[in-house]
Amino acid sequence: MVAKRINILWAILGVVGGMALGAWYMGSRIQSPAEMAARTAAPEPSAILVPVESRLLSSDIVTRGTVRFGLPQPISIAPSTVKGGVGLISSLPRPNTNFGEGEVILSASGRPVFVLSGAAPAFRDMAPGTSGGDVRQLEEALARLGFDPGTIDGNYDQKTSGAVERMYKKAGWEPFAPTREQRAAVAALEREWSDAARAQLAAEATRETAVKAVAAARATAEQNTRQAALDSAARVGNGRQLADARAGKSLALEAERARAAHSATAASADVATQVADRALIVLDPRQTETARAAAEAKLKVARAAQRKAKLEADLAIQTAAREAGLADERIRVAEGAVKAARLEGERNVRAAQEQQTLAEFDVQVASERAGRLERELATARAKLGVQVPADEVVFIPSLPIRVHEVTAAVAANASGPVMSVTDNQLSIDSQLPLEAAPLVKPGMKVAIDEQALGIKATGVVETVANTPGTRGVDGYHFYLGVRVETTPVLLAGFSVRLTIPIETSKGAVTAVPTSAVSLAADGTSRVLVDGGGGQEYVTVQPGLSTGGYVEVSTPDGRLVPGQLVVVGYRTAEPAAGPAAVK
């Protein structure tokens, strides 16, 4: 009985359970028409409202760049000639250490290496007496550091030397004094100069002697000439006699000739008389033969006398001419003796003059050498002041500097490149796409930021390459160089975002999201303003559009910041959407 009741109870429970399951299943499946309509009806759209804003609109070019200090430049130490050899590096700076002007960047063999500002590198030792552009650089640096070097004229003088000494002492180093070699060189120069001065004096004495020798030679030559003239005169007479003799021999000769001519004329006249007489006798028939013969004989006598006179005249002329020739010979001999004496004297004078010339040349050589040694000695003495060896200063075009990489090691030779440095100016290497490059100009402001660290800085466009593919960028980009102007931290090595505003609204303007502006049928732009109770279209004049916002203006000022405009309509989520994609 009990079992039967239990079975009935189970059966009832089963039936109830089955009915419950059936009711649940049917309930989940059966839907009323209202429910079906509600489920399938389109949801009520609700407007998505955003406020009108007053904001600065800016159209930007965004790119990336790597911040660096200036391009690394090597620092080399020039060899110094005043030091015995190359020093050994005794201390070196660590990378990223900064150095300003007048600071010691490293030391070698216990000597400092100063860093100074200057365009040209140090290439020689600078000491009192040297001059040039490097000295001017040194003087300018000393002046900037407050050590008065006197007039900045490119000449290393005592004031420069004093300024250098003060610079060394202020940095805690002893200035570079004259070396033992320099002092020894000065001593040697002093000795040489002394010898040269003595040689000059000796040459001058020789020259004086030579001058006197020339005068003596001249006097001797004059005396000899005069003596020769006297001797000649004594031989032919004195000078006047000689002249008279020369003139006289001609007169005697002419006298003889005249006499000969006279005798000849007289003889000719006598002959002519006899001829005439003979003719008269011959032609006169009255004359006798004897008369004729007598006339003939007289004629012959006359002719013989004529011949005699002629012969005697010729003899006299010849005698006179021979006498005249002897006189000439004597005169020539006397003149030759005088000339010989004069020539001998002149030769002696010339020889003495040559000696004088040689002596003067010796004096000149000795004077020049003495003068040169005196100048060298003065220079060497002047160089004995405080000097700047070439390996104790490096000139850098722009300071301060930052050590980029140290290439030398302690105890290595302090010569040649030892490190590379950069200037302290942060720059950014970046690139621009081809289409963006024409929009960016040097001088444009740049917003710099590193988002992960929240660093913001400012800069200015320094360079935009003229052609793509330069300075390490590919051929589809232009190199962009940006100079960092203000930054809260040193950004060197960071990759930063560069935002270059290429067009701004020049102050805050009324702006709405771009999606809020629609086009009306008449072609005007408008926004739908929600006024709480209702919505109305407001015609606007769109302006600059960037960053999802557009500048809008209304002639009547109906649109003001804070008002709500419709940018879209929100609809209800579908009941069953895609599994993942929103």
Partner 1 sequence: MKKTICAGLFAVLLATAAAQAQAPKGLGTEEFGMSPRELVQAIEKTEELIARCMREQGFQYIAADHNTVRAGMSADKRLPGLSEEEFVSRYGFGVSTFYTGLPPQLATGYSPARVGLGERNVQIFRKLSPADQVAYNRALLGDDVFSTLAVALETEDLSRTGGCTRKALTETFKPDQLKASHYNPQDALINKDPRMKAAIAYWQREMKKAGFEYGHSDEIEPDLRNRLIALTEGGKLLVSKMSQDQKAALRKLQDYERLVAVKSHKMHEEVLTPVEEKIQEELFSRKVQ
- CB of 76 vs partner 1, minimal distance in Å: 27
- Judged by DSSP in three states, 302 sits in helix
CB of 472 to partner 1, least distance (A): 8
Q: Which is nearer to partner 1, 223 or 495 (CB)?
A: 495
Q: Which two tokens stand for residue 261?
A: 């001519």
Binding site for partner 1 (CB under 8 A): 7, 10, 62-67, 429, 433, 451-452, 473-474, 493-499, 576, 578-582
Buried b (16+ CB within 10 A) or exposed e, 316-333: bbeebeeebeebeebbee
How far, CA to CA in Å, does 462 sit from each of 287, 317, 430, 442?
Answer: 158, 123, 11, 5
Residue 261 near residue 313, CB atoms below 8 Å: yes
Burial 139-158 (b: 16+ CB within 10 A, else e): bbbbeebebebbeeebbbbe
Q: Compute the distance between CA of residue 95 and CA of residue 541 in angstroms, rounded to an integer.
A: 58
CB-based contacts of 75, cutoff 8 Å, min separation 6: 105, 394, 396, 417, 418, 419, 420, 421
User: Between 290 and 451, whose beta carbon lies closer to partner 1?
Assistant: 451
User: Which residues fall within 8 angstroms of residue 475, CB to CB, at 6 or more apart?
Assistant: 468, 469
E runs forming strands in 312-370: none
User: Residue 408 CB, nearest distance to partner 1 (Å)?
Assistant: 24
What is the rounded CA–CA span in Å between residue 282 and residue 284? 5
Spatial CB neighbours of 555, under 8 Å, sequence gap ≥ 6? 541
Q: Is 530:46 a contact under the CB 8 Å cutoff?
A: no
Closest approach of partner 1 to the CB of residue 507, in Å: 24
CB of 68 or CB of 166, closer to partner 1: 68
Least Å distance, CB 454 to partner 1, is 14
How far is C-alpha 341 from the geometric centre of its chain's CA atoms?
69
Nearer to partner 1, 30 or 575 (CB): 575
Residue number with CB closer to partner 1 (412 or 473): 473
As measured in angstroms, the least distance from the Cβ of 427 to partner 1 is 13
Compute the least distance from the CB of residue 9 to partner 1, in Å: 12
Is 10 or 537 the residue whose CB approaches partner 1 more closely?
10
Shortest separation between residue 135's beta carbon and partner 1, angstroms: 42
Backbone dihedral angles phi then psi of residue 457, each to the nearest 5 degrees: -140, 170
Whether the bond between 400 and the residue before it is cis, its omega within 30 degrees of 0, is yes
119, 395 contact by CB (below 8 A): yes
Q: Which is nearer to partner 1, 534 or 578 (CB)?
A: 578
Shortest distance (Å) from residue 582 CB to partner 1: 6
Q: How far apart are CA 410 and CA 92, in angstroms?
A: 7
Question: Closest CB to partner 1 among 283 and 576?
Answer: 576
Measured from the CB atom, the residue of 230 and 473 that comes closer to partner 1 is 473
CA dist 28 and 154 (Å) reads: 105
Nearest CB to partner 1, comparing residues 10 and 123: 10
Output the smallest distance, CB 492 to partner 1, in A. Answer: 9
For residues 225 and 489, give the distance between their C-alpha atoms in angstroms, rounded to a whole number. Answer: 107
Q: Which is nearer to partner 1, 25 or 123 (CB)?
A: 25
Q: How far is the CB of 469 from partner 1 (least distance, A)?
A: 11
* Residues 179, 189 contacting (CB under 8 angstroms): no
